[in-house]
């Protein structure tokens, strides 16, 4: 999703497979649009809106580390089957790490930061985590990123396994049609 100012993309395959769990892992990417000045996005600028309209903030690195036992299975699954986040506007051609969290149990992992500097030529990618009290439920979520003058709202639909299969089938069919 994008505005005239910012762009964000979300991979939520692992979240879709984690219904009932209290931690949600999202693969995310973000940048600012060409013609927009560089901006700093902080941990507080990123929210998750649940199907029942609860607004969840990113947890602290400390809270994330305390949940290591719940988070590590998500991290391991994402390492095997995470979503590639490589769709960015053409001007965002320099990779950038979004390191709001340090992965538990990984030696020499980069230090967690509370912000990321975005510019139109940087494609910043990383993982974010949300604690979802009561567990992840089926339905429509929004991943919101507050830029200086707008909010990019990326829709996320947590589906049943059958709905996900049907969605994948239709998506693959649309890809085939677009190639003809």
How far is residue 62's CA from residue 118's CA, in Å, rounded to a whole number?
Answer: 25
Residues 132/56, Cβ–Cβ less than 8 Å:
yes
pLDDT at 61: 87
Bridge partners of residue 153, in order along the sequence: 144
Strand, coil or helix: 46: strand
Global confidence as pTM: 0.87
Q: How far is CA 50 from CA 79, 87, 114, 164, 171, in A?
A: 25, 25, 23, 19, 24
Over the chain (180 residues), the average pLDDT of each successive run of 10 is 95 92 95 96 96 95 88 85 82 90 68 88 93 96 97 93 79 75
Size of the chain, expressed as the number of residues it contains: 180
Strand-pair category, 139-146 with 151-158: antiparallel
How far is residue 124's CA from residue 28's CA, in Å, rounded to a whole number?
Answer: 8
- Residue 120: in which H helix or E strand, if any? none
pLDDT at 78: 84
């Amino acid at each position: 999703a994008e505005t005239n100012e910012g762009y964000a993309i979300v991979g939520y395959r692992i979240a879709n497979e984690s219904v009932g769990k209290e931690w949600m892992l999202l693969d995310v990417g973000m940048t600012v649009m060409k013609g927009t000045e560089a901006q700093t996005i902080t941990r507080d600028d990123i929210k998750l809106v649940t199907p029942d309209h609860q607004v969840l903030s990113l947890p602290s690195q400390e809270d994330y580390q305390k949940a290591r036992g719940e988070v590590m299975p998500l991290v391991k699954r994402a390492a095997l089957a995470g979503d590639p986040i490589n769709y960015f506007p053409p001007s965002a051609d320099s990779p950038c790490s979004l390191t709001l969290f340090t992965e538990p149990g990984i030696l020499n992992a980069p230090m967690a930061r509370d912000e990321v500097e975005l510019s139109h030529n940087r494609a910043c990618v990383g993982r974010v985590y949300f604690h979802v009290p009561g567990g992840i439920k089926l339905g429509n979520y929004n991943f919101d990123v507050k830029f200086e003058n707008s909010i990019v709202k990326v829709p996320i639909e947590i589906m049943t396994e059958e709905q996900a299969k049907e969605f994948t089938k239709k998506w693959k069919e649309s890809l085939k049609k677009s190639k003809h």
